Structure 1
Amino acid sequence: MKLPLALLTAALLVTACTPSMPASPTADGPDVNLGTALTGGGTQVSGVSWRVDTGSLPAWLKVTPTSGTGPITLTFTADRAQGTPTTADQAKLSAAVRVNWTQGGASGTSTWNVTADQYVLRGRVVDAATVQGSDVGKGTGVNARAPQDARGVIVKYRSAAAQATALGRLGVSSAGDAALSSTRSALARLGLTTNAGEDLGGRRVALDVTDVEAALEVLRGDPNVEYAVPNAVLGAQELGSQALAAPVVPPDQYAGLQWGFKLLGYGAVWRDMASGAYNKPVTVAVIDTGVRFDHPDLQGQLYGPGEGALDVLTNTANGDDDGADTDPTDPSTPNRTTGGSHGTHVAGIIAARWGTNAAFPGCDACSKSGVVGASYRAPVKVLPVRVIDASGNAEVADVVNALRYASGISVTLEGKTFTNPHPAQVINLSLGGAISVAEARPMCEAVAEVSARDTLVVVAAGNGYSSEPYYPAACEGAVAVGAVTLSGASAPEHARYSNSYPQVMLSAPGGSDAGTTYNGGTLNDKPYPDQIFSTEWDYTKNQPIYDSHVGTSQAAPQVSALAALLLSKGVTQGRGDTLARMTATATDLGARGRDEDFGFGMIDPAAALGAPAVSDTLGLRLQSDRGDAFQPALDNLGRFSAYLPDATFTVTAGRDRNANGIYGEAGEAGAERQATLGPAQPQVELGDLTPAP
C-alpha cells in the first residue's frame, strides 16, 4: 500500500524529532585496573543522577567525585599502605565499589571492580653459620668459604621428571645407583674426578669430588638441578662460652600480661641481675598524682612520709584539704568513685615488688602476687611527689616546685621549707599539656636547673593524636618519650595517640587504644588487649587492684626504669652518660635515624645493660619509613617475597638474642638494606642478606 507523500513526510518528521531515552548504567560497571599506578579511573556512559556508596570503599581506596549527573566518570587513588596486611602476602588489592543511580522512576546499582597491584620486594636471609647455595666459591664476602671446608657436594634435582631428563641425556633411565653413576660420568667428562657417591633419597645425591668449586659451577648451570651445595663439615657444639643463659620468667600472677617487658628483652636483663652487679642505690622521683602507699605490691619500694615523699599541692580545694605536707597519698576525696591512681600505676611499672605480697585487710580476693616492676633485684626506689589533684589536673607552679624539690633543691611551701633527703637521679613526669612556649617557660627553666644538677628528667610526650609539642616534654633538656605498641609483625609500631614532634627523643611500650590483642595473653578467659598492666586502686571499694592503661604516661616510666638500672649497675655515671647510652642502643624504627614518631627509637634495655644472650634465632625485620611493620614468610631456604605499598623500607636480617622477637637490634648480628618501592620502581631484588656472625 502506498502512503500519500505528505503523510510519509509527516511520519518521518515525527520519528526524527522523538528524543531517545539516555542509557541507564548496567549492573556491571567497568573494571578498573590501576596496575602499579597510584591513580586511575573509568567512565560508564549514562544519563542518570548517581552517587558513590562510600561505605563500599575499603580504607585503601579513595574516589572522586562521589556524586554527579550524566556519565559516571570516577578517578580512584590507591593508598596501598591502608590495605597491606602485616604478612605482606597479598599480591593484588581489590574492591567492589557500588554506584547508586536514579533515572526518572527507575533506580539501580552499578558495581565497579577496582584492582591495584602491590609492589614486590624479594630477598633471602642467609645464616652466616650455615653453608648454603653460594657459600663455597670464589670471592671474599661474608659467604665465601674455602673449598677445604666441604667434603664434596650434594645435588638435588628439581623433580623426578627433571631428574629423569637429566639422567636420560647420559643414557640412564633410573635413579638410585644409576643417578650416582651418571652424575659421576658427567663430571668426569669435564675432568672432575669423583671418588665415591651416596644416594640420599628424595632426588638427592652426595658426591665426593676432587674439586668442589668446579663441580658446583657445573651442576648449578644445569636447569634440571634444584640446588647444588657443598657437603659441609660440621663440628660438635659444646656447652661453655657459647651456651645461652635462661631468661628469667617472673612467677607473679599477672606478670604474663606485662608484654612490654618481654618486648624490651627484660628476661635477659633480669638474668643479668643474678651477677650482683646492680648494687648502687638509685632514686626515681615520680611526680604525679601521688600513690597509694598501702598497695601491697608497692610495700618497701617507695620512700614514704618522713622519708622524702612530698605533696606540693597548696590549693586545698583541689587537693586533699590539708595543703602541702609530707604525705603524698592519692586521696579518697569526697565523691571519688571513678578513676584509679595514676601515680600508683606509674610507680608499679618501675618498682612493683616480686613474689608474694602481704595480705590486704578485708580483701580475700586480692591477688597474692600481682605484677612485677622492671627494677627486680636492683636497689631502685620510687620517691612519690604529688602535683596532680584528684580531678586530674596540675598547675605549672606546682610542677616547678616538684622538679626542684625532687632534685635536692629546698623549696618553701606555705611558709615551710622542705628538703629532699633522697635527691633523685631520675625524675619521671607522666603529665603535660599543649601550652604555649611562653606559658611553659617556668617549667623549662626548672628542667634546665635540675638537669644542671646531673638529674635526668623523663617526660611523657603526650596523647594528643597530633604533631603539637606538649610541655614539659618539649623543654630543652627533657627526654620526651613517645609510645609504641605491638603490630603483629616484625617490629612494634608508633601508637596513633602518641604525639609526634622534633623533640621526641625515645620510645617505649605505651599500648594500643585500638583493641588489638597481639600479645597473646588472656585475662578472665578473654584475650588481653595490648595495654600496660600495673598496680592500681579501686576507690569504690577502697582496696588495691591491678588494671591496664594506655598512653605515653605508661611509656615514660619504662625509660625512667632503664635509666635507673644503668646507674645502678654502673654502666653509666650521670645524666649525659645515661642518655647517650639509651639513645645509642635504641632500636631504630620507622624512618632511618631519629624521627618525630620514635625519636632515636625504642629503648633496648638488654643491649644498654649488656645483658647475656637468652636466645639465638635468625629472622627478618621489615619496616617502612611510615612506621609500618611487616612479617613476610621465609621459606626453608630463607627466601621471601613481600607485597608492599609505596614507601622506603628498611630490611634487616638478624639474630634475636634477647628473646623479644625483634631481629638485628643493637648488640645483635644484623645485615641491613634499604629499598624504595613505587610506580617508578615496582620491584626490587635485594639478594642475600647475611648477618655477620
Structure 2
Amino acid sequence: MKSFVPRLSQRSPASSLPLRRGLTCGLLAAALLLSACDQTSSPEPVTGLQAQTVALGQATSAPARQGFAGTWTVSGVPAWLTVSPASGSGDVALTVSADRAAGTPLDAGQSVLSGSFQVVWTLADGTTGSATWTVQADQFRLSGRVVDAARLEGSDAGTPDTDLGASGAGDSRGVIVTYREAGVRDAVLAAEGSVRAQAQGGAASARATLDGLGVKAGARSPLGTRAARLDTPATAATLAALRADPNVLAAVPNVTLRALATPAAPVTPTDQYAPLQWAYPLLGYGAVWRDMESGGYTRAVTVAVVDTGVRYDHPDLAGQLYGPADGALDVLTDVSNGDGDGADTDPTDPSVSGRTGGSHGTHVTGIIAARWGQNTTTCAGCSPTGVVGATYRAPVTVLPVRALDSGGGTTAADVANAVRYAAGLGVTLDGKVLTNPHPAQVINLSLGGAVDAAEGQPMCDAIADARARGALVVAAAGNDGTTLPFYPAACAGAVSVASVTLSGASAPRHAVYSNAYAQVQLSAPGGASYLARTTFNGAALNGAAFPDDIFSTSWDYTKNQPNYEVESGTSQAAPQVSALAALLLSKGVTSGPDDTLARMVATATDLGAAGRDDLFGAGMIDAAAALNAPAVSDTLGLRLQDDQGRAFQPALDSLGGFTAYLGSGSYSVVAGRDRNGNGVYGESGEPRTERRVTLGTATPAADLGDLTPAP
C-alpha cells in the first residue's frame, strides 16, 4: 500500500539572516615616482555600464540595450518585472517585461509603476561595477462612482388606474405639485368666490386642470412656497395631466417613507484570543452568532474529524467531543503509529519522544468546536478562556477518528476505513467489525497527498459510500501551490476546499500555497503562511502584529500541556466549510449532503474570474448568507479584483468617485452594501451591482459611470 504524508498545514520556519557575497573593488597603488615628463599622455578611462531608463509606456515588454565589452549579470529584479537573459558577455541586449497587476499597490493609486534592477559588470582587466537600470511602465485607468440608491420606497411607474406610490403598489398619500410661480399656487389654493373670479392666466389654467381632475378646493394644501399637496390618487393619468400644464414644474407621488431598520449588533466573543481569529468575522459569524442567540439551532449534528487524533485534555475542547465510549476511534493498526498499540477506541494524539510540533487534529477540531467562555480546567500560565469555535451554542459534537500517525503519515486504506467508519458503515480492524454509534453528517479530511487518480480511487470509493450513507465529506485541496489534483479532495464525492487569506482590500485573495484545479468547489480562510506573511487583520499578540494565519487549540509536546498555535493551510480552510455545513443542518436550512453543498455554493462570494474557477471554486463561503442571519451593518463600498484573485482598494472621494491605475487584465468591479459586518461589499443577499471590464493596450482607460447597488 503506497503511503503518503499530508502537507496541509504550515508552520513558520526559524528565521535566518541571508548571507550575501559582496563585490569589492580594490586599487593597487604602485610606489612609482612620476616625473613631469612622464605625464605627457593619459591612460584610457575605464568603461563600464551606465545607468539608464527603460520606458515601457503601455507596452508589455521592450528591449534594453547598451554596448559593452566584458561579462555581466542581472540581479535585484522586482517581482513584477522579468528580465532576460539573466547574464551574458559583450553588448547587453535585454528584454524587459512587466506584469503590472503584480506591481500595482493596494490602493491602485500609481499612474506609473517604477522599479529598478542592477546589471553587475566585469571588464577583461578584472575591474567590476554595477549600473542601475530603471523601468517605468504606464498603468491603465479605471474610473467610476459608487452611488447610494435613493432611500425611497416609491416610483411613478405603473398602470393608469393604479395609485403609483411606494413601489407602484398603491402606498402613496396623494400628489405633490410644484408650480413655476408662487402666485399660481396661491390662486390654485384660494377659496371659491371673488378670488376665483379674479384668477387670470396661468392661475386660471392650473385651476382648470385641477377642476378637470375633480380635485376639490378642500383637497389642496400648501407645501413650501410654490408647492401644494393634493389629496387625490397618484395615478398615471393624474400625473400626466398635471405635468402637461405649462405652469407645473413637477408632479410626483407623495410617497410613503419608512424608518430604516437598525441593524442588530454583531456578537463579539470575549475569550482572550478571539480577537486573533479574523476568519470568523470575514465569514460573517458576528451575524450568525447573533442569529444563534435567538434560537433555532436545535438539531444535533456530528462532525467527524479524521486526522491525527485529538487531545481530550485540552480545556478548550471539554464537553465538545465524543469519547472512547461514544464511538471515537483510532483506525491505525500498525503498532508503530506513535501510541504503541494498534486500532482501538482511544484516538488521543500521543506524545512521542522528541516530538516538538503541535497537534494537527486538535487545531482542526478547535476551529469547528472550541468552547466559549471560561474553561473548566486550566494549567499554570494557560489562558483561562482561550479561543472560540464557529459552532458556538449549536448542538454540534466532534467525533475524533485517528487516521494519521504521530509523524503525520497515513495510507489510502487507513483513510478509506476512517471515512467509512465515520459515516456509520462497518469496518474490519484487527479482525473485529466496528460500527460507529454516532454516524457523522459531516466528515472533515484535512489530509491528502499528490497521488494519481488510480492510487486515490480506494479513498474515492469510500467517500462515495459515505455520501450515499448521508454524510458530506469535506477535504483540503492541498498546499503544493500547483494545478495538480490532490486526493482525496479531488474525488468526485468530496468537497474540495481551497484557501483564501486577507488582502488588505475588501476582497480576500487566493493563498499562494493553495492548489488550484478543476475539482476545487469552495474556498475558506486558511491563512497567508510564512510564504507570504501579512498582517492585515490588525490584531496584536505579545506586542507584535499578528500574522494573517489561523489561531486555534493545540498541544505543547515539550511541556506536555495545552496551548494555542498559529497554523495555515487548506487544512485550516476545510474545517471552516465543515462547521458551516454542520450549522446549516442544525438550523434545518438543509437536511442532507446534496442540499447542504448546494446552499453553500449558491451563497458563496464569487471571487476572481466570474463564476466558478480553479482558484476559488464557486467562491468563499458566506456563513451569514447561507444561514439567513440578520443584518449587523449597512455600509456602502467598492470591491475590485482581477481574474487572478488579486484585490485592490482605490479610495472613494466624498461623492463616491474613484480612479484606479491597474495592469492589463479582466476585472470584476462590485459596488454594494455590507450587511454582515465583514467589510466585503455586495455578497449574496446584499444590494450590489457588478461590472466586468478588460483593460489593456486596446482599452487603456474605462469609465464605468455611476454604480448604484440594487437590492
TM-score by length of 1: 0.80
Match of 2:465 among 438, 445, 449: 449
Match in the other structure for 1:506: 522
Q: Residue 43 in 1 paired to residue 65 in 2? A: yes
For 1:384 and 1:152, the matched residues in 2 are separated by 76
Shift of 1:98: 3.3
Q: Does residue 32 of the first structure (1) align with residue 49 of the second (2)?
A: no
CA distance in 2, matches of 1:552, 1:330: 20
1:378 — aligned with what? 394
Deviation at 1:34, TM superposition (A): 1.0
Number of residue equivalences: 589
Equivalent-residue separation in structure 2 for 1:393 and 1:576 (angstroms): 31
Distance 1:407 1:331 in 2: 25
The offset of 1:417, in angstroms, is 2.2
Question: 8 Å contact 2:75–2:120 — kept in the other structure?
Answer: no
**Which residue of 2 is the match for residue 550 of structure 1?**
568
Equivalent residue runs for 1:618-633 within 5 Å: 618-633=636-651
Q: Is the 8 A contact 1:618 1:663 kept in 2?
A: yes
Match of 2:448 in 1: 432
Shift of 1:454: 1.6
Return the alpha-carbon distance in structure 1 between the equivalents of residues 497 and 414 of structure 2.
22
**Contact 2:176–2:227, Cα closer than 8 Å, also in 1:** no
Give the equivalent residue in structure 2 for 1:328.
Answer: 347
Change in 2 beyond 3 A, CA 1:21/1:48:
farther
What corresponds to 1:262 in structure 2?
A: 281
Change (3 A) 1:104 1:312: closer
CA distance in 2, matches of 1:515, 1:262: 20
Instruction: Indicate the SS of the match to 1:614.
Output: coil
Pair 1:257–1:343, CA change in 2 (3 A): same
Alpha carbons of structure 1 residues 640 and 413: separation in structure 2 relative to 1, 3 Å: same
What code does the residue aligned with 2:448 have?
G
In structure 2, C-alpha distance between the alignment counterparts of 1:323 and 1:454, rounded to whole Å: 29
Identify the residue that residue 567 of structure 1 maps to in structure 2.
585
Name the aligned partner's letter for residue 445 of structure 1: D
Q: 1:318 to 1:641 in 2, by over 3 A?
A: same
Match of 2:145 in 1: 124
Query: What is the aligned counterpart of 1:636 among 625, 638, 654?
Result: 654
Cα gap change, 1:373/1:27 in structure 2, threshold over 3 Å: closer, same or farther?
same
CA–CA distance in 2 between the matches of 1:528 and 1:152? Answer: 63
Against the structure 1 CA distance between its residues 110 and 313, is the aligned structure 2 distance closer, same or farther, given a 3 Å change threshold?
Answer: closer
1:208 to partner: Cα distance: 7.8
Change (3 A) 1:540 1:233: farther
- For residues 152 and 261 of structure 1, the distance between their equivalents in structure 2, rounded to whole angstroms, comes to 56
Aligned equivalent of 1:172: none
Report the equivalent of 1:73: 93
> Aligned partners of 1:43, 1:673: CA distance in 2, in Å?
41
Go from structure 1 to structure 2 and tell me whether the alpha carbon gap of 1:236 and 1:413 turns closer, same or farther (over 3 Å shift): same
- Asked if structure 2 preserves the Cα contact closer than 8 Å seen for 1:51 and 1:99, the reply is yes
Structure 1 residues without counterparts, runs of 5 or longer: 1-19, 139-143, 154-206, 212-231
- The answer to whether the 8 A contact 1:247-1:268 is kept is yes
Which structure 2 residues correspond to residues 82-97 of structure 1 after superposition, within 5 A? 82-97=102-117
CA distance in 1, matches of 2:460, 2:287: 36
SS in 2 for 1:580: helix
Distance of 1:22 and 1:646 partners within structure 2:
44
Tell me if 1:366 matches 2:382: yes
Aligned to 2:663: 645
Structure 2: unaligned runs, 5 residues or longer: 1-42, 158-166, 181-223, 229-252
Label 1:150 to 1:107 Cα distance change in 2 as closer, same or farther (>3 A): farther
Does structure 1 retain, via aligned residues, the 8 Å contact 2:504–2:536? yes
Alpha-carbon separation, structure 1, partners of 2:585 and 2:177 = 49
- Aligned pairs for 1:193-208 (under 5 A) are none
What code does the residue aligned with 2:648 have?
A: F
Give the direction of change, closer, same or farther, for the CA distance of 1:310–1:96 in structure 2 (3 Å limit): closer
Report the 3-state secondary structure (helix = DSSP H, G, I; strand = E; otherwise coil) of the residue aligned with 2:324: coil
* Contact 1:500/1:597 (<8 A) preserved: yes
**What is the rounded CA distance, in whole Å, between the counterparts of 1:233 and 1:128 in structure 2?**
19
Counterpart residue number, 2:74: 53
- Quick one: distance in 2 between partners of 1:257 and 1:66? 43
Shift of 1:281: 0.3
How big is the alpha-carbon RMSD for the aligned residues of Structure 1 and Structure 2?
3.0
The answer (yes or no) to whether the contact 2:49–2:121 under 8 Å persists in 1 is: no
Could you say what secondary structure the match of 1:649 adopts? strand
Note if contact 1:653-1:690 (Cα within 8 Å) is conserved in structure 2: yes
Counterparts in 2 of 1:120 and 1:424: CA distance versus 1, 3 Å: same
Counterpart of 2:602 in 1: which secondary structure?
helix
What is the aligned counterpart of 2:600 among 563, 577, 582? 582
CA distance in 2, matches of 1:71, 1:433: 48
**1:69 Cα shift?**
4.2
| SS of residue in 1 equivalent to 2:275 | helix
Report how far residue 411 of structure 1 moved: 1.6
Deviation at residue 682 of structure 1 after TM alignment: 0.9
Deviation at 1:527, TM superposition (A): 0.6
Match status 1:617 vs 2:635: yes
* Equivalent residue number for residue 13 of structure 1: none
* Residues 618, 656 of structure 1: 8 Å contact kept: yes
Q: What's the CA shift string for 1:369-428, capped at 9, x where partnerless?
A: 111111001000000011111111111111111111111112221122222111100000
Could you tell me how far apart the structure 1 residues matched to 2:631 and 2:430 are?
53
Residues 417-456 of structure 1, C-alpha deviation per residue, up to 9 Å, x if partnerless? Answer: 2221111000001000011211111111111111111210
The 1:508–1:152 alpha-carbon spacing in structure 2 relative to 1, beyond 3 Å, is farther
Residue type of the alignment partner of 2:421: Y
Q: Partners in 1 of 2:606 and 2:502 — Cα distance?
A: 15
Residue by residue over 1:9-36, the C-alpha shift from the partner in whole angstroms, topping out at 9 and shown as x without a partner, is xxxxxxxxxxx9899467443x322111
Q: Which amino acid aligns with 1:278?
A: Y
Q: What does 1:294-305 align with in structure 2 at a 5 Å threshold? A: 294-305=313-324
| Superposed displacement of residue 74, structure 1 | 2.7
Q: Deviations over 1:94-139 (max 9, x none)?
A: 12343344445455544433210011111110100369xxx9999x
Correspondence for 2:235: none
User: Which amino acid is the alignment partner of residue 41 of structure 1?
Assistant: P
In structure 1, what is the Cα distance between the partners aligned to 2:476 and 2:296?
30
Shift of 1:40: 1.4
- The Cα of 1:365 is off from its aligned counterpart by 1.0
Q: Calculate the TM-score normalised by the size of structure 2.
A: 0.78
> Which amino acid letter does the alignment assign opposite residue 496 of structure 2?
A
Q: Which amino acid aligns with 1:626?
A: Q
Whole-angstrom CA distance in 2 between matches of 1:432 and 1:575: 21
Deviations 1:604-637 (A, max 9, x none): 0000000000000000000000110000000001
Mapped partners of 1:150, 1:493: distance in 2: 52
The 1-side partners of 2:155 and 2:653 are apart by 21
Q: Which amino acid aligns with 2:468?
A: A
Match of 1:479 among 471, 477, 495: 495
Does residue 420 of structure 1 match 2:436?
yes
Contact 1:289 1:341 in 2 (8 A): yes
